[in-house]
Amino acid sequence: MTSGLETVPTLGEAPFLKVLAGERQATPPVWFMRQAGRYLPEYRALRATAPDFIAFCLDPEKAAEATLQPMRRFPFSAAIVFADILLIPRALGQQVAFEAGEGPVLGPLPPVEAMAERSADAGGALSQVGETLSRVRAALPANRALIGFAGAPWTVATYMLDGGERAIGKGQRAEARDFAYREPEKVDAVLDVLVEATAHYLKMQADAGAQALKIFESWAEGLSDDLFDRLVLKPHQKLVARVRELGVTAPLIGFPRGSAAIAEHYARACDVQLVALDTACPLEVGRRVQAIKPIQGALDPLLLRAGGAALDRRVDQLLDAWAGGPYVFNLGHGILPDTPIAHVEQVLKRIGAE
């Protein structure tokens, strides 16, 4: 497969990886969550060639092409593998489907014991993602990093718990939280299975060429501090420890979206190398987190879609507040499908990305 990307001499570590090591860069590295996706016409054309979304994710040639498309078009500092957080439930034996207009729909939760038996083979069951990573790494120049990822245990559990019966997989996160209160032992057991499965999945990704690994906790919002510690922080701590036990040395990124009020607590308590901040994170909170470890975020995807002078002002505010330390410029959540490409170019030009 030809990448369409120019190769360059080895430049040592990519600027993105240097930030993860705690080094400030004169121009912050930049990448966008969901940078490979529906806002790109070339992605939409490619997606139309696959019968369904899961088949697309598990086709290494197509997934690698989707990963590389934004890297050809924009001077992003890092690529993130094209996959989905709900591949893990599928590897554990739960039915997963993506229905037009409905989003993900999951079948009933398999017995915890049956999922536990499958957990150590999660990486092998999803080896297609590893092949995608290997293809992308071979196509990228040395100064552009490659990120692997997985959904965090609680976020994945919110889709898995009582799947088809209570329609949690359709986004009713309050139902999942209610489940965590009413059946804590079952929920905690599911989280433990997900920690083990996700650790093996991330190890497979690192072995395949991922140079950094991101833990996406998309649904950390709305949790009391004690529930946050139980459902988010402790599983993250266990996951990080298990990944290291498996021999992975790649830096880890934690993204507890919706938890700006306790972001400092998370940064101190969880041994990730970088904390990703969401749209609602105040600049001052970001400064305090940055005093603990490098940060990433937190441009509003809605503002990126809107564009104009307000977008320039916010980019300047983020740079003024955080670019004095180790910082990766990014969004506070994923890029929206109807975002104009010109607005992405506007931000990259404002940052000075080359």
Separation of alpha carbons 49 and 114, rounded Å: 34
Q: Which of 34, 90, 135, 144 is catalytic?
A: 34
Of 7 and 90, the one with more pLDDT: 90
Query: Residue 11 has what pLDDT?
Result: 37
pLDDT at 3 exceeding the cut of 60: no
Q: What percent of the chain has pLDDT over 70?
A: 93
Mean pLDDT value of segment 19-29: 97
Of 163 and 8, the one with more pLDDT: 163
List, for residues 291-332, the tens digit of each pLDDT value. 999 999 999 999 999 999 999 999 999 999 999 999 999 999
List, for residues 226-260, the tens digit of each pLDDT value. 999 999 999 999 999 999 999 999 999 999 999 98
Q: Which of 159, 201, 266, 327 is catalytic?
A: 159
> Of the spans 1-15, 169-183, 284-298, which averages the highest pLDDT?
284-298
Annotated binding-site residue numbers for substrate: 34-38, 84, 159, 218, 333
Are 83 and 63 in contact, with CB atoms under 8 Å apart? yes
Among the ranges given (8-22, 74-88, 111-125, 333-347), the one the predictor scored with the smallest mean pLDDT: 8-22
Query: Residue 9 has what pLDDT?
Result: 31
Confidence of residue 2 (pLDDT cuts 50, 70, 90): very low
pLDDT at 102 exceeding the cut of 80: no
Question: Is 47 designated active site?
Answer: yes
Query: Residue 163 has what pLDDT?
Result: 54
Distance of alpha carbon 128 from the chain centroid: 18
Question: Is 137 designated active site?
Answer: no
Q: Which DSSP string do the residues of 230-282 spell out, in sequence order? A: IIIIHHHHHHHHHHHHTT--S-EEEEETT-GGGHHHHHHHS--SEEE--TT--
Q: Which of 39, 43, 59, 84 is catalytic?
A: 84
Separation of alpha carbons 337 and 197, rounded Å: 30
Question: Is 38 designated active site?
Answer: yes
pLDDT at 8 exceeding the cut of 50: no
- Token pair recorded at residue 112: 């915890």
Question: Is 327 designated active site?
Answer: no
What three-state secondary structure class fits 152?
coil
Give Cα separations from 102 to 33, 38, 334 (angstroms). 22, 17, 18
pLDDT at 278 exceeding the cut of 80: yes
Mean pLDDT value of segment 212-228: 94
Query: Residue 99 has what pLDDT?
Result: 77
Check if CATH label 3.40.50.12780 holds for domain 15-351.
no
What pTM did the predictor assign?
Answer: 0.94
Question: Is 201 designated active site?
Answer: no
Query: Residue 101 has what pLDDT?
Result: 65
List, for residues 126-178, the tens digit of each pLDDT value. 999 999 999 999 999 999 999 999 999 999 999 998 654 444 444 456 788 88
Query: Residue 38 has what pLDDT?
Result: 95
List, for residues 203-215, the tens digit of each pLDDT value. 999 999 999 999 9
